[in-house]
Structure 1
Amino acid sequence: MSKTRFLALIPAVALAATACSGSGGGGEDTADGDITLSFSNSYTEDHPHTRCGIDLVAERVAESDSGMSVDTFPNSQLGANTETFASVMSGDIDLDVQGSSALSASYSPIGVMDSAYVFRDADHLFSFFDSEASADMKAEFEEATGTKILDVWYFGDRHFTATEPIRSPEDLDGLRMRFPDSPTHLANAAALGADPTAVAFEEVYLALQQGTVDGQENPIPTIEGMNFVEVQSHVSLSSHSVGSQMIVVSGETWDSLSADQQETLQQAVSETRADNRACIEEAEQEITDRWESEGAIEIVDDVDVETFRSQAQEYFAENMDAEQYALYEAVQEIE
């Protein structure tokens, strides 16, 4: 955590160096004419999204002989998770990994993809993203933000951790649960019956340690990578959200690339989808097996998922605006 907090102190310096080098809006031109793209994320270096995601994209681009390379910046080196997409829109960062709820601040309908129980599993997530039903959403997002979604990666199912087990909505009563400070995640909290407390991602460990919040929710690799098991006693396998992460590129950057370079970058990101998912799922199994064998945290696997699901779906039917609920229903209808 000390490394994460240290890195959180330097985003302004990193961004200033990036801007001065000319990497904003089309990447940095190197002495030999190659383009270097900046790729930011908020995860640790050993998180699957880094080592089996962004790093793989960088490797594939490097092997392509396309006149491009990718510099990766994990651990929020280029800014906090809530800040970097604005830098992509402005062209100061070329590529970023962002959840749809964070992106919904710029285009609200896309936040539906992070809604509780909107997807059944990762296959359902990918089927929707690749369907005609999502085409308008992606086109309107591009128009609204000036950025382009290259693909979606599976983030892992989100589960609760807390100082006590959570098996039903009633078990959330009286618990201060950290949720990301976005309309989608705060709506999820209400739908699931939680009392949400907004804490920046980079500060969650400290909030749990100091008792500012009693619990939080994230996928297993993130729970492990951020050492939350050190300050939590139970992980309850609610699978209340099939986590998705969008790979977004600055429109200015995209337009500056040749057609061949665009194809190379698109292919590198899309080909990484399957590898990234496999890495996430392998990490989940390895981590939960180790937690169980070491007694690091109590795993609660008898969560009443169906009650959570039906409560969430009823809440969204009554509280989502018309445009969001139309998309929510469209997702539900995808096989």
Structure 2
Amino acid sequence: MQKKMLLWSIAVVMMTAMLGIPNMVMGADFLIKFAHFQPAQMDQPQHVAAVAFKNFVEQQSGGKIQVDIYPAGQLGAEKEILEGLRAGTIEMTNIHDGPIPTVFKPAVILGIPYAFESPPIAWGVMDGWYGQKFNEAMLKETGIRILAWSDNGVRNFSANKPLKSPTDLKGLKMRVMVSEVYLKMVQAMGGNPTPIPWGELYTALQQGVVDGQENGVTNMLAAKLYEVQKYYTLDGHIYSWHIVMVGNKFFESLPPDLQVIVKKGVEIGKVIERGLVTTQDLMAANILGDKGMDVVSLTPAEKDEFRKLSQQPVVDWAKTQTDPQWIDDLFKAIAEVQDQLKK
């Protein structure tokens, strides 16, 4: 599996390089300001996907669409980006799932821990009927159109000691995103969740404001968190998403042929980002080990200890925040995809 994903990743990077020939878009009919939150580096999957999208769309549209990429949160924090999509001041974004419940409450389901056993199951659920239902409901309620469920990787805990069981979390101040569902999860495990904005995380760890945090390999690299954390524990508590969105008023202002080009460009970016992120996740021991971290693997039984403590309390809480049918349908869709993959 690792070898296949590595070969896939190499292939998509080569494809991106071929697409990455600079274009001069003169007199474009439409401008897409595309905001994302990773550094403008080619080891950052979100940025690689954005560059591929830009070059595909500009080339295929014959210069009718110009795409300007704004990486590393240049256009503002997550809440500002979502507001910009609704107001029409920003056309597109690739944004992580954490802040989505602030505009669409059913998105709390995205924080249910240990819901997906593997990336193919997660992809099957959100590319299938459940994801389509989610997309349509969010569009109706917010005016934001989801074009693709991309990939933010599997989130794992890091600290300055190995976390082999939930008891190891007791007493630790663990940084979480500014998201209530993450607070509930860490509390259920016995840790002390401390919301800290992404841009302040490195300093908070360096100064001991918090003892640990949770993120995927890509984000560990992006923020150089390996410099201020010793152990990375592969508990895989959350399958995290990057979600490609467009303001619907802008999208519907495009002629149908240009809408198709945008959709195709997003699909290419999705495949690239999923391949790169999954490869990084599978090679966590190699990548972070080379950076000086000790990567701790857990047995299925050890992972189950974390799941038993955290999943049901988060599910119970989520059902107080949104229609419980969203949660019931999620687990139904997961079971269906699991069955399909066994055939």
TM-score, normalised with respect to structure 2 = 0.83
1:87-109 deviations in whole A, cap 9, x for unaligned? 11111111111223311111111
What CA distance in whole angstroms lies between the structure 2 residues aligned with 1:150 and 1:317? 27
Aligned equivalent of 2:224? 227
Which moves more between the two structures, 192-201 or 300-309?
300-309
Are 2:318 and 1:320 equivalent residues in the alignment?
yes
Please tell me whether the aligned partners of residues 109 and 323 of structure 1 are also in contact (alpha carbons under 8 angstroms). Answer: no
Identity %: 23
Q: Which amino acid aligns with 2:60?
A: S
Aligned to 1:44: 39
Q: CA deviation at 1:178?
A: 0.6
Counterpart of 2:293 (choices 287, 291, 297) is 297
Q: CA contact under 8 A between 1:80 and 1:202: conserved in structure 2?
A: no
Pick closer, same or farther for the CA change 1:134–1:122 going to 2, 3 Å.
same
SS at match of 1:247: strand
Residue 20 of structure 1 corresponds to which residue in structure 2?
Answer: none
Deviation digits for residues 156-188 of structure 1 (CA, Å, limit 9, x no counterpart)? 100111121111111110000011111222232
Q: CA deviation at 1:45?
A: 1.5
Residue identity in the other structure for 2:312: E
SS in 2 for 1:300: strand
Which residue of 226, 239, 246 corresponds with 1:242?
239
Aligned to 1:310: 308
SS of 2:241's equivalent in the other structure is strand
The size of the alignment, in residue pairs, is 305
- 1:189: Cα distance to partner? 2.1
Residue 127 of structure 2 contacts residue 149 of structure 2 at CA under 8 Å; is this kept in 1?
A: no
State the distance in 1 between where 2:306 and 2:151 align. 22
Residue 50 of structure 1, CA deviation: 3.1
Tell me, in whole angstroms, the C-alpha distance in 1 between the residues paired with 2:54 and 2:303: 38
Separation in 1 of the partners of 2:34 and 2:50?
7
Shift of 1:290: 4.1
**What SS does structure 2 have at the residue aligned with 1:213?**
coil
Where do 5+ consecutive residues of structure 1 fail to align? 1-29
Paired letter, 1:69: Q
1:102-130, Cα deviation, whole Å (9 max, x unpaired)? 11111111231232112222111111112
Whole-Å Cα distance in 1 between the matches of residues 50 and 317 of structure 2? 36
Consecutive unaligned residues in structure 2, runs of 5 or more = 1-24, 338-343
Please tell me the residue identity of whatever aligns with 1:54. A
Q: Is the 8 A contact 1:160 1:215 kept in 2?
A: yes
* TM superposition score normalised by structure 1: 0.85
Say whether residues 1:186 and 2:183 are aligned partners.
yes
Give the root-mean-square deviation of aligned CA atoms.
2.0
- Deviations, residues 226-254 of structure 1 (Å, cap 9, x unaligned): 01111111111111111111101011211
**Which of 210, 215, 220 pairs up with 1:218?**
215
Query: Match for residue 112 of structure 2?
Result: 115
How has the CA–CA distance of structure 1 residues 253 and 245 changed in structure 2, closer, same or farther, with 3 Å as cutoff? same
Q: Judging changes above 3 Å, is the alpha-carbon distance between structure 1 residues 182 and 290 closer, same or farther for their aligned structure 2 residues?
A: closer
